[in-house]
Amino acid sequence: MTKDTACCPGAQWTRVADLGNAQAIDCALVRCSACGRPWMHLWTPYAPKESYSPLEDAAAAELAAMPPGPERKRKLCELLDL
């Protein structure tokens, strides 16, 4: 997983969609309010820190369109390299 990174300085995250969890990591699709770039917001109850990982536009669109289920979970694991 990539280390904590921010997108544009001072920008807020806009939550786009909840993606459920993969390997006990909760995932949500968010966008930078300044540039609109999609990121994955990751957090887990087992670690104190949350993190953000940049996403390709195509991957973000694909994830947002997928219904909850094993297929989406598999895609998350693939994207996050879990």
Q: Is 34 in the site for Zn ion (CB under 5 A)?
A: yes
CB of 5 to Zn ion, least distance (A): 11
Residue from 30, 32, 40, 76 binding Zn ion (CB under 5 A): 32
- If the CB atoms of residues 12 and 23 are measured against Zn ion, the closer one turns out to be 12
Q: Is 9 in the site for Zn ion (CB under 5 A)?
A: no
DSSP string across 15-81: EEEEEEEETTEEEEEEEETTT--EEEEEE-TTSS--EEEE--HHHHHHHHHSPSSHHHHHHHHHHHT
* Residue among 66, 51, 57 nearest 19 (CA): 66
Residue from 1, 6, 8, 82 binding Zn ion (CB under 5 A): 8
Residue 17 CA to residue 31 CA, distance in Å, equals 10
Size of the site for Zn ion (CB under 5 A): 6
Question: Could you list the residues that contact Zn ion (CB under 5 A)?
Answer: 7-8, 32, 34-35, 37
